[in-house]
């Protein structure tokens, strides 16, 4: 473990600001496409008329396909993590991903102005969603590894940026609607926003190596072996030389840590290094052994995201307000996307103050499973069009209340699951536990996206 003596300061907290921007940039693709579902659905509304009669209406299930094709790349690239990442440098992975995401966002903005058949537009959009989230998965995994080299508070800043990405997208959509321009111009302005955001994210990443504070921590993994060798083989004093000669002649000297520390200021440091070196030599547990210890948390994070993605946004985005008029345009951006993202971020933030139930409690998985009640509750809201289920909660206020509890519980349970898992294993197995939890998180997202097709059909 490297000491922080001599570490430069983070002047103006610039590194913290950059990692906040990087966190924001990792989830911009998913959130901007999700929040723009109204634009895509309106453009894919293919009602065909013949002699004044409605003859056909093709349903593309855009929200379901968008959710599925956004989450499958995350699962796929999590599985390919051990193959892809060691073979490609960090700079290529991060900067390259941001460049491709920028290009794909520019393409999406250009398509706003290009008329084309619905089938062609749907196919191009789905391909864009797949590739943009593939690069996003690589970007997110790489940045998690990068921020892990810095002090722990920077990970919290990075996660905070991720948590506000959805709110940023929802606010951008509200500004686009409030501009009172035609739908095409509003959509163009909306998709230009993530282009600027991604460009700022790229510039921010390229600035990191120029900051002393960032260089100090980001290069420490390369310097670790050299620094450790210097600590284990410090400059000899005459006394130390005599002790070493004594060991060489076969004498065994018993050390007294307290007296050693009093005679030599570096004694405690050397003892710590020896202890750390012994720990480093411990053999890591197998993946199966680690999974046996964290399987409850793995189940929890999978179940939370399965429930959340099964109805949001595939079902919730089709809820209609009972107050027609101008409010109708703002209803989904405010009551669905903005409220969800704000309350999800609130749930994640609360865990820094309250962590209940404790990780050993059986009450926690029960709490996670109980969230399944939100699935029928949201399906019984005023979702249109519907075929089978009745509408029990038509009032806007009831939908907002359900969404608030649904989203705050999602953020709270996810954050607890992800923070509890590493605490259930030895420090040497923390990295394996983190990788497993990332996989099960992606699995939950993909399962939820797949189930959303069935749930939307059952409405």
pLDDT in tens, 231-240: 434 444 444 4
Of 363 and 254, more confident? 363
| Helix 14-26 / helix 118-147 crossing angle, nearest 10 deg | 150
Per-residue pLDDT, averaged over 284-308, amounts to 93
Rg, Å, the chain Cα set: 27
pLDDT of residue 38: 81
pLDDT of residue 332: 93
pLDDT of residue 238: 44
Please tell me whether residues 212 and 321 are part of one structural domain.
Answer: no
Indicate if the pLDDT at residue 459 is higher than 50.
yes
Domain span at residue 64? 11-220
Over pLDDT 90: what percentage of the chain? 40
Alpha carbon 54 to its chain's center: 44
- Quote the CA–CA distance of 35 and 421 in Å, as a whole number: 31
Of 330 and 54, more confident? 330
Indicate if the pLDDT at residue 278 is higher than 70.
no
From 220, 251, 272, the end of a domain falls on: 220
Q: Is residue 447 part of a domain?
A: yes
Q: Is residue 279 part of a domain?
A: no
* Predicted confidence (pLDDT) per residue in 424-435, tens digit: 988 778 767 877
Phi, psi of 79 (to 5 degrees): -65, -35
Please tell me whether residues 309 and 208 are part of one structural domain.
Answer: no
Of 435 and 261, more confident? 435
pLDDT of residue 383: 95
Please tell me whether residues 196 and 293 are part of one structural domain.
Answer: no
Of 379 and 177, more confident? 379
Q: Is residue 259 part of a domain?
A: no
pLDDT of residue 231: 41
The dihedral of CA 387, 388, 390, 394: what is its sign?
A: negative
CATH number for the domain that contains residue 147: 1.20.1250.20
Indicate if the pLDDT at residue 249 is higher than 50.
no
Indicate if the pLDDT at residue 369 is higher than 90.
yes
Which tokens is 240 given?
A: 């130390």
Task: Tell me the sheet residues that pair with 47.
Answer: 57
With beta carbons less than 8 A apart as the criterion, state whether 40 and 125 touch. Answer: yes
Please tell me whether residues 90 and 184 are part of one structural domain.
Answer: yes
Please tell me whether residues 75 and 210 are part of one structural domain.
Answer: yes
Mean pLDDT of the chain, nearest integer = 82
Please tell me whether residues 42 and 134 are part of one structural domain.
Answer: yes
Indicate if the pLDDT at residue 116 is higher than 50.
yes
Confidence of residue 142 (pLDDT cuts 50, 70, 90): confident
Q: Is residue 44 part of a domain?
A: yes
Confidence of residue 259 (pLDDT cuts 50, 70, 90): very low
Please tell me whether residues 21 and 160 are part of one structural domain.
Answer: yes
Per-residue pLDDT, averaged over 270-295, amounts to 70
Please tell me whether residues 196 and 94 are part of one structural domain.
Answer: yes
Q: How far is CA 304 from CA 1, 44, 254, 368, 379, in A?
A: 35, 31, 55, 6, 17
The dihedral of CA 124, 136, 300, 37: what is its sign?
A: negative
* Predicted confidence (pLDDT) per residue in 166-192, tens digit: 898 999 889 888 887 887 888 888 999
pLDDT of residue 392: 95
Of 282 and 455, more confident? 455
Nearest to 15 by CA among 146, 153, 208, 164: 208
pTM of the model: 0.75
Burial of 139 (0-12, 13-18, 19+ CB in 10 A): buried
Per-residue pLDDT, averaged over 258-285, amounts to 52
Per-residue pLDDT, averaged over 185-214, amounts to 92
Please tell me whether residues 58 and 183 are part of one structural domain.
Answer: yes
From 193, 220, 247, the end of a domain falls on: 220
Q: Is residue 33 part of a domain?
A: yes
Per-residue pLDDT, averaged over 154-170, amounts to 84
Nearest to 406 by CA among 380, 378, 381, 382: 378
Highest mean pLDDT: which of 76-85, 244-253, 267-276, 418-427? 418-427
Confidence of residue 241 (pLDDT cuts 50, 70, 90): very low
From 201, 220, 239, the end of a domain falls on: 220
Overall number of domains in the chain: 2
Indicate if the pLDDT at residue 154 is higher than 80.
yes
pLDDT of residue 114: 92
DSSP tag of 179:
T
Contacts of 90-96 with CB under 8 Å at 24 or more apart are 90/142, 90/145, 90/146, 93/138, 93/139, 93/142, 94/139, 94/142, 94/143, 94/146, 94/205, 95/202, 95/205, 95/206, 96/135
Q: Please, what is the Cα angle at 213 between 273 and 428, to 5 degrees?
A: 35
Of 389 and 419, more confident? 389
Which tokens is 145 given?
A: 């590894």
Please tell me whether residues 19 and 151 are part of one structural domain.
Answer: yes
């Amino acid at each position: 473990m490297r000491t922080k003596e001599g570490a430069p300061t983070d002047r103006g907290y610039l590194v913290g600001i950059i990692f906040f921007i990087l966190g924001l940039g990792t989830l911009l693709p998913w959130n901007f496409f999700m929040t723009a579902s109204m634009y895509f659905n309106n453009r894919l509304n293919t009602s065909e008329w013949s002699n004044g009669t409605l003859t056909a209406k093709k349903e593309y299930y855009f929200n379901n396909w968008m959710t599925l094709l956004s989450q499958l790349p995350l699962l796929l690239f999590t599985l390919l993590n051990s193959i892809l990442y060691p073979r490609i440098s960090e700079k290529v992975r991060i900067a390259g991903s941001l460049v491709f995401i920028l290009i794909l966002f520019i393409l999406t903005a250009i398509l706003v102005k290009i008329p084309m058949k619905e089938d062609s537009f749907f196919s191009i959009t789905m391909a864009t969603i797949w590739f943009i989230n593939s690069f996003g998965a690589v970007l997110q995994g790489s940045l998690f590894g990068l921020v892990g080299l810095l002090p722990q508070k920077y990970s919290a800043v990075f996660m905070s940026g991720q948590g506000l990405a959805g709110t940023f997208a929802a606010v951008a959509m509200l500004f686009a609607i409030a501009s009172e321009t035609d739908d095409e111009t509003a959509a163009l302005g909306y998709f230009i926003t993530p282009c600027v955001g991604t460009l700022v994210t790229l510039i921010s990443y390229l600035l990191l190596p120029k900051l002393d504070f960032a260089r100090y921590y980001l290069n420490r993994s390369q310097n670790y072996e050299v620094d450790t060798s210097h600590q284990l083989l410090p400059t000899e004093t005459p006394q130390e030389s005599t002790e070493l000669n004594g060991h060489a002649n076969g004498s065994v000297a018993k050390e007294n840590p307290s007296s050693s520390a009093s005679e030599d200021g570096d004694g405690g440091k050397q003892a710590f290094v020896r202890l750390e070196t012994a720990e480093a030599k411990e053999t890591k547990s197998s993946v199966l052994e680690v999974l046996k210890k964290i399987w409850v948390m793995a189940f929890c994070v999978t179940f939370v995201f399965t429930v959340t993605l099964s109805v949001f946004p595939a079902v919730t985005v089709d809820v209609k307000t009972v107050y027609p008029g101008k409010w109708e345009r703002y209803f989904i951006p405010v009551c669905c996307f903005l409220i969800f993202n704000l309350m999800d971020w609130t749930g994640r933030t609360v865990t820094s103050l309250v962590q209940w139930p404790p990780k050993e409690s059986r009450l926690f998985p029960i709490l996670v499973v109980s969230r399944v009640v939100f699935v029928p509750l949201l399906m019984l809201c005023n979702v249109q069009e519907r075929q089978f289920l009745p509408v029990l909660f038509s009032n806007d206020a009831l939908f907002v209340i359900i969404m608030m509890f649904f989203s705050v519980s999602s953020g709270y349970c996810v954050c607890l699951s992800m923070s509890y898992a590493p605490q259930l294993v030895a420090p040497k197995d923390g990295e394996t536990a983190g990788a497993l939890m990332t996989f099960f998180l992606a699995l939950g997202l993909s399962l939820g996206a797949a189930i959303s097709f069935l749930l939307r059909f059952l409405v």
